[in-house]
Amino acid sequence: MTSSFPRRDALAPAAPSRAAAPASQGVAATPHELYGELFVAVQMARVLGDGKSFVDARPKSPPALIRARFDVERHGAGFSLADFVRTHFVPPGHASAPMPQVDIRAHIRQLWPLLAREQRAAVDGESLLSLPHPYVVPGGRFRELYYWDSYFTMLGLVADGQRGLAEGMLANFDHLIAAYGFIPNSSRSYMLSRSQPPFFFKMVELLQAADPAAGFAAHLDALKAEHAFWMDGEDGVAPGHAHRRVVRTADGALLNRYWDDRCTPREESWREDVETAEASGRPHEQVWRDLRAGAESGWDFSGRWCADPTDIATIETTALAPVDLNALLAGLETAIALGAARTGDAAAAQAYEARAATRRMLLQTRFWQTGNGEGYFADLNWRDAADPRPLTAAGLVPLYLGLATAAQADAMAEQVRRHLLGANGLLTTALTTGQQWDAPNGWAPLQWMAAQGLASQGHADLARDIAERWCASVHRVFLATGRLLEKYDVAQDRPGGGGEYETQDGFGWTNGVYVAFKDGLLRPATP
């Protein structure tokens, strides 16, 4: 069947010139920049179904030639956009899964090599960035190196004797910081305008567990560069204003938010973002910026980010200082202080420790809400501190990083028991919105941070309960389906749902956290 080429939707912005691209993007052109109206037409028509398929496709010819052919052929009688795409692009594939094993640990060990990738040289017109070392991808539609996913994957790699692969991944992140000044959301050109939760220092700590300060010293330049990325513009931000990822409250407190240097639809979810903006009744560029910032958070998406939790069109990510981001940055500042002290730079050590201490104080005060029984950590609306924010699993990150008082840790433990503990582990939020980072879903990284944080704060029984419930459900779903998944329903034994795409197999961080739990909190006691 033939179909005429669809006109570019009036809502969809034209491809920007290279000169308009953010400085952080360097020389890597995105698919939108490379293919212009062809890109918009393909994404708006859902030619390949999942919008991520086209931005991950490999062109068979130089992009300029494909674009020129499109400009000529689209006006011909009987032109088929789908046929044109099939002729000029190789769609991305999925790794075939091994035959399920009765032993889930054996199955995970078989998955590691299947999830490993290598891309040492860039391909003209392909969005995948080159990296010097092999790496592990999450799985399914996620065919590239992801930032925060990788830490939780590396937990399992280290436990399963794949330390060399984990070290190579850390070296790739060092490379990305050197090349771009920060770690992007993933190793794709279309994600070079945003990062993800800053777990680089935790990766260093993992691989230098016997002496973390030595690891921080060895990676000090990269750690400082990442911190500078998050704090860009801090000196010029007036009270009540923001610049990129830095915000200053009306009384002068310096905090951070998620942001993206672009304000166009996400290239991998172009049509979805165009439709969300149209439904919002708000300036489209603001909606797109907030959607992109939500993607930088890793929680894409959650009612956590929305003025109306049930309506994604009310997303306001950039209006919020997230509790988990600010806790992670306190951890990064402490890591830099320890690394600087190890190198003998006392002045830098003192300066970064002072930053961490200030952020710790702000977390314990500004991010602590008392409107739900015993109180809880939550995000902060940096323009309106009185805006009540919901309880989420992100509120356990201050415990994970040792930033909560004993009383706050006790209160958070009680909040978990009352509101977030499901039959199969920790709920992401208590909100039911249809978004994937809300109830009834549970995610591996949140199980890990919650359990580790609670255990370190005197709540070992609750920590073990979370780990046992989640691992048992993962195992039951595996036995029933032969699959390891990116997310799970923590109310019933089944895959998680909701969001923009089908639940994916693989799956890097689930494998890593399952293995780490079994070798840590859930290791059988020695007689």
How would you write 471-524 as a 3-class SS string? Answer: HHHHHHHHHHHCCCECEEECCCCEECCCCCCCCCECCHHHHHHHHHHHHCCCCC
Marked catalytic residue, from 56, 149, 205, 300: 300
pLDDT digit string, tens, across residues 78-101: 999 999 999 999 999 866 666 666
Rounded to an integer, the average pLDDT of 112-131 is 94
Percent of the chain with pLDDT over 70: 92
Mean pLDDT of 395-400: 98
How far is the CA of 410 from the CAs of 186, 363, 375, 413, 425, in angstroms? Answer: 36, 16, 10, 5, 19
> Which of helix, strand or coil describes residue 146?
strand
Q: Has residue 300 been placed in a domain?
A: no
Phi, psi of 90 (to 5 degrees): -100, 110
Structural domain contains residue 412: yes
Q: Is residue 240 part of a domain?
A: no
Q: What local confidence, expressed as pLDDT, does residue 522 receive?
A: 85
The average pLDDT across 301-330 equals: 98
pLDDT value for 98 = 67
Mean pLDDT to the nearest integer, 249-255 = 97
Q: How far is the C-alpha of 186 from the C-alpha of 149, rounded, in Å?
A: 10
Give the mean pLDDT of 122-131. 94
- Does the model's pTM come out above 0.75? yes
- Residue predicted with more confidence, 2 or 218: 218
What average pLDDT does this structure show over 356-365? Answer: 98
Told to judge if 273 belongs to the known catalytic residues of this protein, a careful annotator would answer no
Domain that holds residue 71: 18-90
Whether pLDDT at 298 is above 90: yes
Active-site residue identified among 486, 489, 493, 505: 486
Flag whether 415 is in a domain: yes
Q: What is the pLDDT of residue 286?
A: 98
Containing H/E element for 242?
A: strand 241-243
Does the pLDDT at position 441 exceed 70?
yes
Q: Is the pLDDT of residue 102 over 90?
A: no
If pLDDT is split at 50, 70 and 90, which confidence band does 372 have? low
Give residue-wise pLDDT tens across range 400-423: 999 999 999 999 999 999 999 999
Whole-number Å distance between alpha carbons of 124 and 415: 51
Is 191 within the bounds of a domain? no
pLDDT > 80? residue 322: yes
Buried b (16+ CB within 10 A) or exposed e, 57-93: bebeeebeebbeebeeebeeeeebbeebbeebbeebe
Q: Which residues touch 412 (CB under 8 Å, ≥6 apart)?
A: 376, 377, 395, 396, 399, 404, 454
Residue-level pLDDT at 21: 36
Average pLDDT value for the chain:
93
Q: What mean pLDDT comes out for the span 502-519? A: 96
DSSP 71-96: HHHTTSTT--HHHHHHHHEE----PP
Percent of the chain with pLDDT over 90: 90
Cβ neighbors of 51 (< 8 A, separation 6 or more) are 43, 267, 268, 269, 270, 271, 272
pLDDT tens, residue by residue, 143-198: 999 999 999 999 999 999 999 999 999 999 999 999 999 999 999 999 999 999 99
Q: Which of 37, 59, 90 is the last residue of a domain?
A: 90
206 pLDDT tier (thresholds 50, 70, 90)? very high
Model pLDDT, residue 7: 36
Given 90, 106, 124, the domain boundary residue is 90
Domain presence at residue 221: no
In a domain, 131, yes or no: no
Q: Is the pLDDT of residue 397 over 90?
A: yes
pLDDT class for 27, splitting at 50, 70, 90? low
Confidence check: pLDDT of 11 > 90:
no
| Total domains, the chain | 2
- The confidence score (pLDDT) of residue 100 equals 67
More confident residue, 31 or 9: 31
Q: Name which residue leads in pLDDT, 234 or 97.
A: 234
Among 90, 115, 134, identify where a domain stops: 90
Quick one: DSSP state of residue 13? Answer: P
Q: Is pLDDT above 90 for 305? A: yes
The encoded tokens of residue 201 equal: 């220092």
| 315 lies in some domain | no
The confidence score (pLDDT) of residue 190 equals 98
Q: Is 486 a catalytic residue?
A: yes
